[in-house]
Amino acid sequence: MKFSQVQTLQKIALLLEVDFVGDANFKITGINEIHVVEKGDIVFVDHPKYYEKALKSAATTILINKKVDCPEGKTLLISKDPFRDFNKITKHFNPFVAAKESIATSAIIGEGTIIQPNVFIGNNVKIGSNCVIHPNVTIYDNCVLGNHITIHANTVLGADAFYYKNRPEGFDKLISGGNVVLEDHVDLGASCTIDRGVTGTTIIGEGTKIDNQVHVGHDTSIGKKCLIASQTGIAGCVIIEDEVTIWGQVGTNSGITIGKGAVILGQTGVTKSVEGGKSYFGTPVSESREKLKELAGIKQLLRVQKKE
């Protein structure tokens, strides 16, 4: 998430009421999660296990809960609760704005696009030309849709990420400030749910077709010309490369990559990253030929046992 104006280290420290290490005029351009940080970003870390990863990341300001040696060219914000303060930054620079109409006046809708009754389109949404948005679709703030897109009834774009910190008093939500982007010629079936990024973008690539009742988690990137069948659940921060086929009732772990051209057979649990150009099946996932041989071997063993 980029700020509309460049901030300084001192300004952010004053906002959070925390101490800082580094030049007070050090420039800060946004905030992001560790997997998408860039120069100028703030990243937060609140567990010693991940200190080194955050300090060595592309982020140039680290919101951290302990004073440590500051890497050259970077700055620190010393917070008692980095998770809470990261949320504070999001709320300050990207506050929730309540809707005043079903289709926001700030929304931009391209020529030839058809909006069916009872569609909700939030603030600053951009929709390209020659799209069809069917009844009861909800498109949250800041989503961006390309051209020639079809979205069927009851689908939701841009709901919050499922991201919580477990505290003694209950679960504390990490506020979502990202968006969803659909590229040209994407089709979404009925009752799909595509969560927005926490600080970045959940993206569905050009020409991808998604069946009914599919869930896509926050910050996931789906490539071009993919096919995803009904009742598939894709976790957050997943990378699905181009021309992947995922059949029905597949589930994935977060943070994995599915390589280009892979085929994931129905009811598979994709528990780890898999190479492209191969077919996969089962839980835990393995190449489909190997898994089918294993199952055949188990059946043969059972037959032998029965004879004995």
Say if residue 213 is in the same domain as residue 257. Answer: yes
Query: How many alpha carbons lie under 13 Å from residue 21 in its C-beta half-sphere?
Result: 19
Domain, as residue range, for 248: 108-289
Report yes or no on 101 lying in a domain. Answer: no
C-beta of residue 206 within 8 angstroms of C-beta of residue 227: no
Say if residue 248 is in the same domain as residue 123. Answer: yes
* Torsional sign, CA 248, 161, 109, 129: negative
Phi, psi of 60 (to 5 degrees): -105, -5
C-beta of residue 249 within 8 angstroms of C-beta of residue 266: yes
Task: State the Cα–Cα distance between residues 58 and 41, nearest whole angstrom.
Answer: 8
Q: Please choose, from the candidates 276, 269, 177, the residue with its C-alpha nearest in 3D space to the C-alpha of residue 223.
A: 276
Mean pLDDT, all residues of the chain: 95
Helices (H), 204-287: none
Helices (H), 75-167: 82-93
| Eight-class DSSP state of 93 | H
Instruction: For residue 304, name the pLDDT band (cuts at 50, 70, 90).
Output: confident
Say if residue 35 is in the same domain as residue 178. Answer: no
Of 38, 66, 93, the position where a domain reaches its end is 93
Q: Which residues, in sequence order, are bridge partners of residue 126?
A: 108, 144
Instruction: For residue 308, name the pLDDT band (cuts at 50, 70, 90).
Output: low
Most distant CA pair in the chain, distance = 81
Q: Which residues, in sequence order, are bridge partners of residue 283?
A: none
Q: In total, how many domains does the chain have?
A: 2
Say if residue 69 is in the same domain as residue 124. Answer: no
- The CATH number of whichever domain residue 82 belongs to comes to 3.40.1390.10
Share of the chain above pLDDT 90, in %: 92
Of 38, 64, 93, the position where a domain reaches its end is 93
pLDDT of 307 higher than 80: no
Instruction: For residue 296, name the pLDDT band (cuts at 50, 70, 90).
Output: confident
Say if residue 135 is in the same domain as residue 280. Answer: yes
Say if residue 122 is in the same domain as residue 198. Answer: yes
Report yes or no on 136 lying in a domain. Answer: yes
Mean pLDDT of 295-305: 77
Say if residue 75 is in the same domain as residue 188. Answer: no
Report yes or no on 297 lying in a domain. Answer: no
Active site residue 185: no
**Per-residue pLDDT reduced to its tens digit, 118-138:** 999 999 999 999 999 999 999
Report yes or no on 160 lying in a domain. Answer: yes
End-to-end CA distance of the chain: 66
Q: Please choose, from the candidates 247, 181, 221, the residue with its C-alpha nearest in 3D space to the C-alpha of residue 36.
A: 221
Say if residue 29 is in the same domain as residue 142. Answer: no
Helix/strand/coil for 280: strand
Share of the chain above pLDDT 70, in %: 99
Say if residue 76 is in the same domain as residue 116. Answer: no
Report yes or no on 99 lying in a domain. Answer: no
Q: Give the pLDDT score at 134.
A: 98
C-beta of residue 238 within 8 angstroms of C-beta of residue 201: no
Q: Please choose, from the candidates 94, 75, 81, 186, the residue with its C-alpha nearest in 3D space to the C-alpha of residue 140.
A: 94
- The CATH number of whichever domain residue 115 belongs to comes to 2.160.10.10
Q: Give the pLDDT score at 300.
A: 79
Mean pLDDT of 212-227: 98
Question: Which candidate in 134, 148, 215, 218 is catalytic?
Answer: 218
Determine which helix (DSSP H) or strand (DSSP E) holds 306, and give its type and residue range: helix 288-307
Task: State the Cα–Cα distance between residues 43 and 158, nearest whole angstrom.
Answer: 22
Report yes or no on 26 lying in a domain. Answer: yes
Instruction: Please classify residue 139 by burial: count the beta carbons closer than 10 Å to its beta carbon, then call 0-12 exposed, 13-18 middle and 19+ buried.
Output: buried
Report yes or no on 112 lying in a domain. Answer: yes
**Per-residue pLDDT reduced to its tens digit, 151-185:** 999 999 999 999 999 999 999 999 999 999 999 99
C-beta of residue 144 within 8 angstroms of C-beta of residue 181: yes
Say if residue 176 is in the same domain as residue 76. Answer: no
C-beta of residue 221 within 8 angstroms of C-beta of residue 236: no
Predicted TM-score of the model (pTM): 0.93
Say if residue 142 is in the same domain as residue 248. Answer: yes
Instruction: For residue 291, name the pLDDT band (cuts at 50, 70, 90).
Output: confident
Task: State the Cα–Cα distance between residues 207 and 137, nearest whole angstrom.
Answer: 20
pLDDT of 31 higher than 80: yes
Report yes or no on 191 lying in a domain. Answer: yes
Say if residue 190 is in the same domain as residue 82. Answer: no
Report strand pairing: 2-8 vs 27-31. antiparallel
Q: Give the pLDDT score at 294.
A: 79
